[in-house]
Amino acid sequence: MLPDLTRITADLIRDLDEKINELALGEPHFSNVLRKYPFKKENFRPVLQERAIEGHTTSKLAFIDGGNGEILGAPNFSIQFNRICYCLFKGKERIQKSKDTIDRIEFLSCTYSSFRNKEIYYDTITYPLSSTFQNLLPSESDLSFDSSDRSIMDGRERADIRRVASIARRFAEWSFAAYVAQKELEKSDAIVMDGTLHAAFTHESAYAKKLYEATTEAGITVTGVAKTSRLFTDTGLSLIGAVQKFAEDCKLAFGSWYLPIAEVADMDHQAMIFVTKLNQQAKHVFRYEIQRDQHNALTLKEIDNIFFMLAENSRDITFAGYPFGCAVADSYGRVSEHDLEYYRALVMGEAGKQGNWPKFSRHIQSVDAHEILNSLVGL
């Protein structure tokens, strides 16, 4: 007999509806925070219009984003192509970069496993595609990880090599942000990183710290927009969803707002966390972080101004409420299959020339089987 799919899905949806109980939104759930802000209507701040912000300055936002992709990989090595880009905006206007600023850094990286001191290690070597940004790449000693390092592990599993292989790019984003700040930004400008300010990997916070120091000195603010967020409330709802619901329930008088959620002060995460809706028409709200010390040194007006600038940049009609600069930086930084094909051909050609392709390919086969399966089922 055929399964009664109508009944089964009906049950499923009914159960889910029951379990997701929006009546109790709860509070932001953090294991380790300095301060939590409960959901209160008074905590919503409107994103003010320019004229409403006293002493308003039109400042620049620099958006940083990067991408990486595997050129060749096996369980014991991963060759990657990495790219990091930025773009500059003042409100909705894009600002041309200065002539001598590098607009992107690109490098190949090779992550491989080795065995020493009775442990498996992951090491990464980087190969800049131009010597001009050699010194923006992370140092190789920072890219050496013990495979039992908690920060790279996936729960209790040994980390997948591809996850480790993307760390070099993450580190380079911090360095590149510092470079951009130094070259292009002035006092009261801000940097918008892609993602949170959580420097999760071992050695990462050193790179974040360098950025914080350089920017603090210059009066520049470091921030981050997270497209997705894994935060929850203590009743088990997604934090973003809960805030959205709460905002609707509050029937706010303003269409765009920001709401403080928590102040985090960990070794590797120093941030004031907000959820913000950047345009009345927005379908999404985002998690937005400002570097903690910098945030605390700002006046309310200055914070208002940052949200104002961000909202100004989020008025593109195709994605209302999402910073356009984030979309631009993302499209610049994104590594396409086309890019990968190009480097793959070069790398494989060279391996053939040097006569060690058979050796590499033995290891690749173990991953390849998956791809063959995929192609058989038409994926």
Piece in contact with other proteins (CB under 8 A), picked from 74-82, 319-327, 349-357, 362-370: 319-327
Give yes or no for a contact between 84 and 176, defined as CB atoms under 8 angstroms apart. Answer: yes
Q: What is the DSSP string of 94-143?
A: E-PPPTTS--EEEEEEEEEEEEETTEEEEEEEEEESSGGGGGGSPPGGGG
The reply to whether 92 sits near other proteins by the rule CB under 8 A is yes
- Report how far residue 258's alpha carbon sits from residue 252's, in angstroms, rounded to the nearest whole number: 12
Chain-centre distance of CA 145, in angstroms? 21
Which of positions 7-36 make contact with other proteins (CB under 8 A)?
Answer: none
Q: How far apart are CA 288 and CA 195, in angstroms?
A: 8
Contacts of 327 (CB under 8 A, 6+ apart): 316, 319
**Residue 280 vs 299, nearer CB to other proteins:** 280
Among 37, 112, 232, 319, binds other proteins (CB under 8 A): 319
Per CB under 8 A, 301 contacts other proteins = no
Could you tell me the smallest distance in angstroms from the CB atom of residue 318 to other proteins? 4
Size of interface with other proteins, in residues (CB under 8 A) = 11
The residue type of 211 is L
Q: Assess contact for 67 and 58: CB atoms under 8 A.
A: no
Give yes or no for residue 324 binding other proteins (CB under 8 A). Answer: yes
Q: Which is nearer to other proteins, 219 or 255 (CB)?
A: 255
Q: Which of 279, 291, 294, 305 binds other proteins (CB under 8 A)?
A: 279
Q: Pick one of 317, 372, 376, 377: the residue that binds other proteins (CB under 8 A).
A: 317
Segment interacting with other proteins (CB under 8 A) among 182-190, 197-205, 222-230, 316-324: 316-324
Is 90 among the residues that bind other proteins (CB under 8 A)? no
- In the bound state with other proteins, the residue whose beta carbon lies nearer, of 320 and 364, is 320
Helix (H) or strand (E) holding 258: strand 257-265
Stretch that binds other proteins, among 27-35, 129-137, 169-177, 312-320 (CB under 8 A): 312-320
Query: Taking Cα atoms as reference points, which of 137, 142, 141 lies closest to residue 106?
Result: 137
Q: How many CB atoms lie within 10 A of CB 65?
A: 26
Q: Does 281 bind other proteins (CB under 8 A)?
A: yes
What is the contact surface with other proteins in residues (CB under 8 A)?
A: 92, 94, 279, 281, 315-320, 324
